[in-house]
Structure 1
Protein backbone atom coordinates (compact mmCIF):
# COMPACT_ATOMS: atom_id res chain seq x y z
CA UNK A 1 0.00 0.00 0.00
CA UNK A 2 1.32 3.45 -0.85
CA UNK A 3 1.58 5.92 2.01
CA UNK A 4 2.98 9.39 2.55
CA UNK A 5 5.81 10.01 5.01
CA UNK A 6 6.70 13.60 5.90
CA UNK A 7 10.36 14.46 5.26
CA UNK A 8 10.35 16.60 8.41
CA UNK A 9 7.83 18.49 10.47
CA UNK A 10 6.13 21.11 8.25
CA UNK A 11 7.27 24.68 8.85
CA UNK A 12 3.82 25.60 10.16
CA UNK A 13 4.41 23.22 13.09
CA UNK A 14 1.26 21.10 12.57
CA UNK A 15 0.97 17.95 10.47
CA UNK A 16 -1.61 18.24 7.68
CA UNK A 17 -3.20 15.70 5.34
CA UNK A 18 -3.05 17.93 2.28
CA UNK A 19 0.05 17.76 0.06
CA UNK A 20 1.50 20.31 -0.09
CA UNK A 21 0.47 21.76 3.26
CA UNK A 22 -2.10 24.49 2.61
CA UNK A 23 -0.55 26.70 5.31
CA UNK A 24 3.20 26.51 4.71
CA UNK A 25 3.53 24.80 1.32
CA UNK A 26 5.84 21.98 2.49
CA UNK A 27 5.74 18.82 0.40
CA UNK A 28 5.49 15.22 1.63
CA UNK A 29 7.59 12.31 0.34
CA UNK A 30 5.95 9.12 -1.06
CA UNK A 31 7.02 5.70 0.18
CA UNK A 32 5.50 2.22 0.33
CA UNK A 33 4.56 0.06 3.26
CA UNK A 34 2.69 0.42 6.56
CA UNK A 35 -0.08 -1.85 7.81
CA UNK A 36 -1.84 -0.85 11.01
CA UNK A 37 -4.07 -2.85 13.33
CA UNK A 38 -6.63 -0.24 14.34
CA UNK A 39 -9.46 -0.85 16.81
CA UNK A 40 -12.44 1.51 16.86
CA UNK A 41 -13.52 2.36 20.41
CA UNK A 42 -17.15 3.48 20.43
CA UNK A 43 -17.91 5.31 23.68
CA UNK A 44 -21.53 4.72 24.67
CA UNK A 45 -21.35 4.79 28.46
CA UNK A 46 -22.96 8.17 29.18
CA UNK A 47 -26.11 8.59 31.25
CA UNK A 48 -27.98 10.69 28.63
CA UNK A 49 -29.09 12.81 31.58
CA UNK A 50 -30.05 15.88 29.53
CA UNK A 51 -32.62 13.91 27.52
CA UNK A 52 -35.11 13.52 30.37
CA UNK A 53 -36.74 10.09 30.16
CA UNK A 54 -35.32 9.38 26.71
CA UNK A 55 -32.01 7.71 25.87
CA UNK A 56 -30.31 9.64 23.07
CA UNK A 57 -28.39 6.55 21.94
CA UNK A 58 -31.70 4.78 21.27
CA UNK A 59 -33.15 7.61 19.18
CA UNK A 60 -34.24 6.45 15.74
CA UNK A 61 -31.85 7.27 12.88
CA UNK A 62 -32.74 5.83 9.47
CA UNK A 63 -34.89 3.16 11.08
CA UNK A 64 -32.36 1.97 13.67
CA UNK A 65 -31.21 3.11 17.12
CA UNK A 66 -28.43 5.70 16.93
CA UNK A 67 -26.08 3.38 18.82
CA UNK A 68 -26.54 0.57 16.30
CA UNK A 69 -26.08 2.98 13.41
CA UNK A 70 -22.87 4.31 14.95
CA UNK A 71 -21.52 0.78 15.47
CA UNK A 72 -22.33 -0.11 11.86
CA UNK A 73 -20.46 2.98 10.67
CA UNK A 74 -17.43 1.94 12.71
CA UNK A 75 -17.53 -1.54 11.18
CA UNK A 76 -17.45 -0.01 7.69
CA UNK A 77 -14.61 2.43 8.42
CA UNK A 78 -11.65 0.21 7.54
CA UNK A 79 -10.66 -0.69 11.10
CA UNK A 80 -9.60 -4.14 12.26
CA UNK A 81 -12.26 -4.45 14.95
CA UNK A 82 -14.78 -2.52 17.04
CA UNK A 83 -15.10 -2.26 20.82
CA UNK A 84 -18.17 -0.64 22.39
CA UNK A 85 -18.05 0.63 25.98
CA UNK A 86 -21.45 0.37 27.68
CA UNK A 87 -22.81 0.80 31.21
CA UNK A 88 -23.96 -2.54 32.64
CA UNK A 89 -27.40 -1.21 33.60
CA UNK A 90 -28.65 -0.30 30.10
CA UNK A 91 -29.93 -3.57 28.57
CA UNK A 92 -31.66 -1.66 25.74
CA UNK A 93 -28.26 -0.47 24.51
CA UNK A 94 -26.97 -4.02 24.57
CA UNK A 95 -29.99 -5.10 22.56
CA UNK A 96 -29.38 -2.36 20.01
CA UNK A 97 -26.10 -4.07 19.10
CA UNK A 98 -27.60 -7.52 18.68
CA UNK A 99 -26.05 -9.44 15.78
CA UNK A 100 -23.22 -6.99 15.14
CA UNK A 101 -19.59 -8.16 15.13
CA UNK A 102 -18.49 -5.92 17.99
CA UNK A 103 -16.84 -6.53 21.35
CA UNK A 104 -18.82 -5.12 24.28
CA UNK A 105 -16.89 -3.79 27.27
CA UNK A 106 -18.90 -2.98 30.39
CA UNK A 107 -17.87 0.03 32.42
CA UNK A 108 -19.00 -0.29 36.02
CA UNK A 109 -17.56 3.16 36.75
CA UNK A 110 -19.49 5.13 34.13
CA UNK A 111 -20.36 7.68 36.82
CA UNK A 112 -16.64 8.52 36.96
CA UNK A 113 -16.81 10.19 33.56
CA UNK A 114 -15.58 9.63 30.03
CA UNK A 115 -12.00 9.14 31.20
CA UNK A 116 -13.00 5.92 32.93
CA UNK A 117 -14.74 4.68 29.78
CA UNK A 118 -11.54 5.31 27.83
CA UNK A 119 -9.50 3.40 30.41
CA UNK A 120 -11.88 0.43 30.34
CA UNK A 121 -11.91 0.49 26.56
CA UNK A 122 -8.14 0.29 26.21
CA UNK A 123 -7.65 -2.51 28.77
CA UNK A 124 -5.82 -5.54 27.33
CA UNK A 125 -6.19 -4.18 23.81
CA UNK A 126 -4.01 -5.59 21.05
CA UNK A 127 -3.72 -2.80 18.49
CA UNK A 128 -1.31 -0.39 16.86
CA UNK A 129 -3.81 2.44 17.15
CA UNK A 130 -7.17 3.31 18.67
CA UNK A 131 -9.92 5.17 16.79
CA UNK A 132 -12.05 6.87 19.45
CA UNK A 133 -15.62 7.56 18.33
CA UNK A 134 -18.36 9.26 20.37
CA UNK A 135 -21.72 7.55 20.00
CA UNK A 136 -23.78 10.77 19.89
CA UNK A 137 -22.40 12.23 16.64
CA UNK A 138 -25.09 11.17 14.12
CA UNK A 139 -23.62 12.97 11.09
CA UNK A 140 -20.19 11.32 11.28
CA UNK A 141 -20.07 8.75 8.48
CA UNK A 142 -17.99 5.64 7.91
CA UNK A 143 -16.24 7.56 5.15
CA UNK A 144 -15.28 10.31 7.59
CA UNK A 145 -13.80 7.73 9.94
CA UNK A 146 -11.99 6.12 7.03
CA UNK A 147 -10.40 9.49 6.22
CA UNK A 148 -8.84 9.57 9.69
CA UNK A 149 -7.70 5.95 9.38
CA UNK A 150 -6.11 6.74 6.02
CA UNK A 151 -4.38 9.77 7.50
CA UNK A 152 -2.74 7.54 10.12
CA UNK A 153 -1.34 5.37 7.34
CA UNK A 154 -0.20 8.44 5.42
CA UNK A 155 1.60 10.07 8.37
CA UNK A 156 3.57 7.39 10.27
CA UNK A 157 5.53 9.96 12.27
CA UNK A 158 2.51 11.68 13.82
CA UNK A 159 0.90 10.27 16.98
CA UNK A 160 -2.61 11.76 17.00
CA UNK A 161 -5.17 12.28 14.24
CA UNK A 162 -8.38 14.26 14.61
CA UNK A 163 -11.33 15.02 12.43
CA UNK A 164 -11.65 18.77 11.96
CA UNK A 165 -14.29 21.22 10.77
CA UNK A 166 -13.67 23.21 7.62
CA UNK A 167 -12.53 26.17 9.73
CA UNK A 168 -9.92 24.03 11.50
CA UNK A 169 -11.72 23.27 14.76
CA UNK A 170 -10.55 19.87 16.04
CA UNK A 171 -13.19 17.29 16.85
CA UNK A 172 -13.86 13.58 16.36
CA UNK A 173 -13.03 10.88 15.67
CA UNK A 174 -9.65 10.82 17.40
CA UNK A 175 -6.99 8.26 16.50
CA UNK A 176 -4.17 7.57 18.99
CA UNK A 177 -1.11 5.41 18.36
CA UNK A 178 -0.32 2.75 20.95
CA UNK A 179 2.57 4.76 22.40
CA UNK A 180 -0.08 6.96 24.01
CA UNK A 181 -2.35 4.21 25.38
CA UNK A 182 -0.67 4.26 28.80
CA UNK A 183 -1.32 8.00 29.12
CA UNK A 184 -5.07 7.35 29.02
CA UNK A 185 -4.73 5.82 32.49
CA UNK A 186 -3.69 9.20 33.92
CA UNK A 187 -6.95 10.89 32.90
CA UNK A 188 -9.74 11.77 35.34
CA UNK A 189 -13.19 13.30 35.15
CA UNK A 190 -15.60 13.79 32.27
CA UNK A 191 -13.45 15.74 29.81
CA UNK A 192 -12.23 12.64 28.01
CA UNK A 193 -8.75 12.74 26.51
CA UNK A 194 -8.54 16.54 26.30
CA UNK A 195 -5.47 16.90 28.59
CA UNK A 196 -3.59 14.29 26.53
CA UNK A 197 -4.62 15.92 23.25
CA UNK A 198 -3.42 19.31 24.46
CA UNK A 199 -0.03 17.91 25.50
CA UNK A 200 0.51 16.44 22.04
CA UNK A 201 -1.04 19.21 19.97
CA UNK A 202 2.09 19.66 17.85
CA UNK A 203 2.10 15.97 16.94
CA UNK A 204 -1.49 16.05 15.72
CA UNK A 205 -2.75 15.68 12.16
CA UNK A 206 -5.99 17.55 11.48
CA UNK A 207 -8.16 15.80 8.92
CA UNK A 208 -10.62 18.21 7.24
CA UNK A 209 -14.11 16.71 7.36
CA UNK A 210 -16.76 19.29 8.24
CA UNK A 211 -19.28 20.24 10.92
CA UNK A 212 -20.15 16.60 11.65
CA UNK A 213 -16.97 16.23 13.74
CA UNK A 214 -18.25 18.59 16.45
CA UNK A 215 -22.03 18.26 16.35
CA UNK A 216 -23.40 16.07 19.12
CA UNK A 217 -27.07 15.85 20.12
CA UNK A 218 -27.54 16.01 23.90
CA UNK A 219 -31.04 17.42 24.43
CA UNK A 220 -34.55 16.95 23.00
CA UNK A 221 -34.17 20.39 21.44
CA UNK A 222 -30.97 19.31 19.69
CA UNK A 223 -32.74 16.28 18.27
CA UNK A 224 -35.76 18.30 17.15
CA UNK A 225 -33.52 20.75 15.28
CA UNK A 226 -31.53 17.92 13.70
CA UNK A 227 -34.66 16.08 12.57
CA UNK A 228 -36.02 19.28 11.04
CA UNK A 229 -32.83 19.58 9.01
CA UNK A 230 -33.06 15.94 7.98
CA UNK A 231 -36.61 16.42 6.72
CA UNK A 232 -35.35 19.17 4.41
CA UNK A 233 -32.37 17.11 3.24
CA UNK A 234 -33.16 13.36 3.64
CA UNK A 235 -29.81 12.39 2.06
CA UNK A 236 -27.74 14.12 4.74
CA UNK A 237 -27.86 11.48 7.50
CA UNK A 238 -24.77 9.41 8.30
CA UNK A 239 -24.26 5.92 6.92
Structure 2
Protein backbone atom coordinates (compact mmCIF):
# COMPACT_ATOMS: atom_id res chain seq x y z
CA UNK A 1 0.00 0.00 0.00
CA UNK A 2 1.56 3.29 -1.12
CA UNK A 3 1.29 6.45 0.99
CA UNK A 4 1.57 9.63 -1.06
CA UNK A 5 1.08 13.15 0.34
CA UNK A 6 -2.05 14.92 -0.90
CA UNK A 7 -1.34 18.51 -2.01
CA UNK A 8 -3.41 20.98 -0.01
CA UNK A 9 -3.15 24.48 1.39
CA UNK A 10 -1.87 24.46 4.98
CA UNK A 11 -4.90 25.13 7.23
CA UNK A 12 -2.82 25.53 10.39
CA UNK A 13 -0.87 23.06 12.48
CA UNK A 14 -3.00 20.03 13.17
CA UNK A 15 -2.62 17.00 15.40
CA UNK A 16 -4.17 13.61 14.62
CA UNK A 17 -5.81 11.17 17.03
CA UNK A 18 -6.63 7.74 15.59
CA UNK A 19 -8.93 5.74 17.86
CA UNK A 20 -8.08 2.03 17.76
CA UNK A 21 -8.98 0.84 21.26
CA UNK A 22 -12.45 -0.58 20.67
CA UNK A 23 -13.24 -4.15 21.64
CA UNK A 24 -15.09 -4.96 18.41
CA UNK A 25 -17.83 -6.98 20.11
CA UNK A 26 -20.26 -6.68 17.19
CA UNK A 27 -17.72 -8.07 14.74
CA UNK A 28 -16.69 -11.02 16.88
CA UNK A 29 -13.68 -13.23 16.25
CA UNK A 30 -10.19 -11.82 15.62
CA UNK A 31 -9.61 -8.10 16.07
CA UNK A 32 -11.32 -6.34 13.17
CA UNK A 33 -8.58 -3.72 13.03
CA UNK A 34 -6.09 -6.44 12.11
CA UNK A 35 -8.23 -8.12 9.43
CA UNK A 36 -6.57 -8.13 6.03
CA UNK A 37 -7.71 -5.78 3.27
CA UNK A 38 -5.70 -6.04 0.06
CA UNK A 39 -2.54 -7.03 1.89
CA UNK A 40 -2.70 -4.57 4.79
CA UNK A 41 -4.61 -4.50 8.09
CA UNK A 42 -7.81 -2.47 8.31
CA UNK A 43 -6.25 -0.02 10.76
CA UNK A 44 -3.26 0.62 8.50
CA UNK A 45 -5.53 1.75 5.67
CA UNK A 46 -7.22 4.20 8.05
CA UNK A 47 -3.90 5.48 9.36
CA UNK A 48 -2.32 5.80 5.92
CA UNK A 49 -5.08 8.08 4.62
CA UNK A 50 -4.47 10.49 7.49
CA UNK A 51 -0.71 10.37 7.01
CA UNK A 52 -1.08 11.10 3.30
CA UNK A 53 -3.40 14.06 3.85
CA UNK A 54 -1.56 15.50 6.86
CA UNK A 55 2.05 14.37 6.48
CA UNK A 56 3.49 16.96 8.88
CA UNK A 57 0.95 16.48 11.68
CA UNK A 58 1.96 14.82 14.95
CA UNK A 59 -0.05 11.60 15.06
CA UNK A 60 -1.22 9.46 17.97
CA UNK A 61 -2.95 6.08 17.85
CA UNK A 62 -4.87 5.01 20.95
CA UNK A 63 -4.71 1.25 21.40
CA UNK A 64 -6.59 -1.29 23.48
CA UNK A 65 -7.11 -4.88 22.40
CA UNK A 66 -4.00 -6.39 20.76
CA UNK A 67 -2.14 -3.14 21.47
CA UNK A 68 1.27 -4.33 20.31
CA UNK A 69 -0.06 -5.80 17.07
CA UNK A 70 -2.07 -2.67 16.27
CA UNK A 71 0.96 -0.45 16.88
CA UNK A 72 3.12 -2.75 14.74
CA UNK A 73 0.56 -2.54 11.93
CA UNK A 74 1.33 1.17 11.63
CA UNK A 75 5.10 0.75 11.31
CA UNK A 76 6.61 3.45 9.13
CA UNK A 77 3.60 5.78 9.32
CA UNK A 78 5.01 7.86 12.20
CA UNK A 79 2.32 7.27 14.82
CA UNK A 80 2.98 7.38 18.54
CA UNK A 81 1.05 4.58 20.23
CA UNK A 82 -0.59 5.21 23.61
CA UNK A 83 -2.71 2.70 25.49
CA UNK A 84 -6.21 3.53 26.63
CA UNK A 85 -6.34 3.13 30.43
CA UNK A 86 -9.70 1.37 30.14
CA UNK A 87 -10.77 0.30 26.63
CA UNK A 88 -14.01 -1.17 27.98
CA UNK A 89 -15.02 2.23 29.37
CA UNK A 90 -15.76 3.52 25.89
CA UNK A 91 -14.90 6.07 23.26
CA UNK A 92 -14.70 9.09 25.55
CA UNK A 93 -11.84 7.67 27.58
CA UNK A 94 -9.89 6.74 24.44
CA UNK A 95 -10.45 10.14 22.84
CA UNK A 96 -9.33 11.98 25.97
CA UNK A 97 -6.24 9.77 26.16
CA UNK A 98 -5.26 10.61 22.60
CA UNK A 99 -5.82 14.34 22.97
CA UNK A 100 -3.71 14.49 26.12
CA UNK A 101 -0.92 12.57 24.36
CA UNK A 102 -0.57 15.18 21.60
CA UNK A 103 1.93 18.03 21.98
CA UNK A 104 0.70 20.40 24.67
CA UNK A 105 1.10 23.57 22.64
CA UNK A 106 1.36 24.82 19.09
CA UNK A 107 -1.64 22.96 17.65
CA UNK A 108 -4.42 24.89 15.94
CA UNK A 109 -6.75 21.90 15.64
CA UNK A 110 -7.12 18.17 16.27
CA UNK A 111 -8.31 15.68 13.65
CA UNK A 112 -10.08 12.73 15.28
CA UNK A 113 -10.48 9.56 13.22
CA UNK A 114 -11.61 5.97 13.75
CA UNK A 115 -9.38 2.98 13.12
CA UNK A 116 -12.20 0.86 11.70
CA UNK A 117 -12.86 3.18 8.73
CA UNK A 118 -10.35 1.96 6.14
CA UNK A 119 -11.83 3.37 2.92
CA UNK A 120 -11.69 7.10 3.62
CA UNK A 121 -9.83 8.81 0.79
CA UNK A 122 -6.96 11.14 1.72
CA UNK A 123 -8.66 13.81 -0.40
CA UNK A 124 -11.65 13.71 1.95
CA UNK A 125 -9.40 14.31 4.96
CA UNK A 126 -7.78 17.21 3.10
CA UNK A 127 -11.19 18.66 2.21
CA UNK A 128 -12.24 18.69 5.86
CA UNK A 129 -8.98 20.39 6.83
CA UNK A 130 -9.34 22.99 4.08
CA UNK A 131 -12.95 23.82 5.01
CA UNK A 132 -12.02 24.16 8.66
CA UNK A 133 -9.03 26.35 7.83
CA UNK A 134 -11.23 28.67 5.76
CA UNK A 135 -13.58 29.37 8.69
CA UNK A 136 -13.71 32.88 10.12
CA UNK A 137 -12.56 31.54 13.49
CA UNK A 138 -11.07 28.08 12.93
CA UNK A 139 -9.92 27.78 16.53
CA UNK A 140 -13.59 27.57 17.56
CA UNK A 141 -14.87 25.69 14.48
CA UNK A 142 -15.64 21.98 14.13
CA UNK A 143 -15.60 20.39 10.67
CA UNK A 144 -16.76 16.98 9.50
CA UNK A 145 -17.50 15.36 6.14
CA UNK A 146 -21.03 14.60 4.98
CA UNK A 147 -21.93 11.99 2.35
CA UNK A 148 -25.47 11.44 1.12
CA UNK A 149 -26.78 13.56 3.96
CA UNK A 150 -25.05 11.38 6.58
CA UNK A 151 -22.41 12.87 8.89
CA UNK A 152 -19.10 11.07 8.73
CA UNK A 153 -15.51 11.02 9.95
CA UNK A 154 -12.91 12.26 10.58
CA UNK A 155 -13.93 15.25 12.70
CA UNK A 156 -11.64 18.26 13.02
CA UNK A 157 -11.85 20.24 16.24
CA UNK A 158 -10.45 23.74 16.69
CA UNK A 159 -8.03 24.20 19.57
CA UNK A 160 -10.68 25.96 21.68
CA UNK A 161 -12.29 22.54 22.19
CA UNK A 162 -9.16 20.77 23.36
CA UNK A 163 -9.86 21.02 27.09
CA UNK A 164 -13.39 19.68 26.63
CA UNK A 165 -12.12 16.75 24.57
CA UNK A 166 -9.43 15.98 27.14
CA UNK A 167 -12.09 15.87 29.83
CA UNK A 168 -14.35 13.31 28.14
CA UNK A 169 -15.21 10.10 29.94
CA UNK A 170 -17.29 6.99 29.38
CA UNK A 171 -18.67 6.14 25.96
CA UNK A 172 -20.00 9.55 24.98
CA UNK A 173 -17.12 10.55 22.72
CA UNK A 174 -17.39 13.93 21.02
CA UNK A 175 -21.09 13.60 20.16
CA UNK A 176 -22.28 15.55 23.19
CA UNK A 177 -19.91 18.40 22.37
CA UNK A 178 -21.16 18.49 18.79
CA UNK A 179 -24.76 18.60 19.95
CA UNK A 180 -23.97 21.39 22.39
CA UNK A 181 -22.40 23.65 19.75
CA UNK A 182 -24.21 23.09 16.43
CA UNK A 183 -23.48 26.71 15.49
CA UNK A 184 -19.79 25.90 15.23
CA UNK A 185 -20.16 22.86 12.99
CA UNK A 186 -19.03 23.04 9.37
CA UNK A 187 -20.49 20.29 7.19
CA UNK A 188 -18.22 19.39 4.29
CA UNK A 189 -19.99 17.54 1.42
CA UNK A 190 -17.80 14.85 -0.14
CA UNK A 191 -18.42 12.24 -2.83
CA UNK A 192 -16.53 9.64 -0.80
CA UNK A 193 -18.73 6.93 0.80
CA UNK A 194 -15.73 5.90 2.87
CA UNK A 195 -16.44 8.68 5.36
CA UNK A 196 -19.56 6.83 6.53
CA UNK A 197 -18.36 3.21 6.21
CA UNK A 198 -17.07 1.61 9.39
CA UNK A 199 -16.32 -2.06 9.92
CA UNK A 200 -18.82 -3.46 12.41
CA UNK A 201 -19.86 -6.74 10.74
CA UNK A 202 -18.29 -9.23 8.31
CA UNK A 203 -20.45 -7.83 5.51
CA UNK A 204 -18.86 -4.40 6.05
CA UNK A 205 -15.44 -5.93 5.46
CA UNK A 206 -16.59 -7.22 2.08
CA UNK A 207 -17.93 -3.78 1.14
CA UNK A 208 -14.62 -2.20 2.14
CA UNK A 209 -12.68 -4.72 0.07
CA UNK A 210 -14.69 -3.80 -3.02
CA UNK A 211 -14.26 -0.08 -2.35
CA UNK A 212 -10.50 -0.37 -1.99
CA UNK A 213 -9.96 -2.62 -5.02
CA UNK A 214 -9.59 0.22 -7.58
CA UNK A 215 -7.09 2.06 -5.37
CA UNK A 216 -5.07 -1.10 -4.80
CA UNK A 217 -4.94 -1.71 -8.55
CA UNK A 218 -3.63 1.83 -9.13
CA UNK A 219 -0.94 1.31 -6.49
CA UNK A 220 0.14 -1.96 -8.13
CA UNK A 221 0.45 -0.24 -11.50
CA UNK A 222 2.51 2.60 -10.04
CA UNK A 223 4.84 0.16 -8.31
CA UNK A 224 5.38 -1.72 -11.58
CA UNK A 225 6.11 1.47 -13.50
CA UNK A 226 8.50 2.79 -10.84
CA UNK A 227 10.42 -0.49 -10.94
CA UNK A 228 10.70 -0.37 -14.72
CA UNK A 229 8.16 -3.07 -15.42
CA UNK A 230 5.02 -2.94 -17.51
CA UNK A 231 1.51 -3.17 -16.08
CA UNK A 232 -0.07 -6.52 -16.81
From the superposition, tell whether residues 81 and 220 of structure 1 become closer, same or farther in structure 2 (CA, over 3 Å): same
- For each residue in 1:133-176, what CA deviation from the matched residue of structure 2 results, as whole angstroms up to 9, or x when unmatched? 11111221111101111112211425100111132x22211000
User: Is 1:192 matched up with 2:169?
Assistant: no
Quick one: distance in 2 between partners of 1:124 and 1:173? 18
- For each residue in 1:65-120, what CA deviation from the matched residue of structure 2 results, as whole angstroms up to 9, or x when unmatched? 11112211111112522111112753221221223211111112111101001110
Match of 1:166 among 148, 164, 173: 148
How much is the aligned-residue C-alpha RMSD, in angstroms?
Answer: 2.4
Match of 1:29 in 2: none
CA contact (8 A) 1:36 1:128 kept: yes
User: Is 1:70 matched up with 2:41?
Assistant: no
From the superposition, tell whether residues 68 and 199 of structure 1 become closer, same or farther in structure 2 (CA, over 3 Å): same
Match of 1:90 in 2: 67
Match of 1:121 among 67, 91, 98: 98
TM-score (norm 1): 0.77
Larger Rg: 1
Match of 1:219 in 2: 201
Quick one: distance in 2 between partners of 1:100 and 1:225? 25
TM superposition shift of 1:34: 7.7
From the superposition, tell whether residues 156 and 84 of structure 1 become closer, same or farther in structure 2 (CA, over 3 Å): farther
From the superposition, tell whether residues 83 and 170 of structure 1 become closer, same or farther in structure 2 (CA, over 3 Å): same
CA contact (8 A) 1:39 1:131 kept: yes
TM superposition shift of 1:204: 0.9
From the superposition, tell whether residues 76 and 138 of structure 1 become closer, same or farther in structure 2 (CA, over 3 Å): same
Provide structure 1 residue ranges, at least 5 long, that are not aligned to the other structure: 1-32
Match of 2:112 in 1: 132
| Secondary structure of the corresponding residue to residue 69 of structure 1 | helix
Match of 1:177 in 2: 158
CA contact (8 A) 2:23 2:65 kept: no
Quick one: distance in 2 between partners of 1:207 and 1:148? 6
| Secondary structure of the corresponding residue to residue 122 of structure 1 | helix
Q: Which structure shows the higher helix fraction?
A: 2
Provide structure 2 residue ranges, at least 5 long, that are not aligned to the other structure: 1-8, 220-232
Match of 2:32 in 1: 56
- Deviation larger for 107-116 or 177-186: 177-186
- Deviation larger for 193-202 or 65-74: 65-74
TM-score (norm 2): 0.79
